[in-house]
Amino acid sequence: MRAEIAELLAELLADIVIDVEVVARELNLRDAMRERLRRALDRLDCAQAVSSSMRAMAAGIEEEEAVREAAHTVQMLAAEWPGDYPEEAAAEWRCADREMRTA
């Protein structure tokens, strides 16, 4: 059942990314709004990677490896947008660090 829920989440996230990208192309956005949209899409990409790790664990893939991949993806997102993810303050960093220590 967990695998089916994780698969549904992945499909929903993929549909969201497509919808946002289509709408973004049709709008005439200011630079600041384009940057905010890019950040949102980066976050969706990160969520998709985390969802993929969840599916891998549900399918029996090594849990340690899946957790490490998800934590790495969150760390990459934080590195791309450091203003939104100040080290030691953002919840995403704390989760990624905790998962890396327990993995």
pTM of the predicted protein model: 0.63
pLDDT value, residue 21: 82
Count of other CB atoms within 10 angstroms of residue 11: 11
Structurally, how many domains does the chain consist of?
A: 1
Per-residue pLDDT 10s for the chain (103 aa) are 566 777 777 888 888 888 888 888 888 878 888 888 888 888 888 888 888 887 777 777 777 777 777 778 878 887 888 877 776 666 666 666 655 555 5
- Residue 83 main-chain phi, psi, to 5 deg: -65, -30
79/91 Cα distance (integer angstroms): 14
pLDDT value, residue 88: 63
Structural domain that includes position 61:
2-102
The stretches of 27-62 forming alpha helices (DSSP H) are 31-58
Element (H, E) at 24: helix 2-26
For 12, what's the count of Cα atoms within 13 Å in the CB-facing half-sphere? Answer: 8
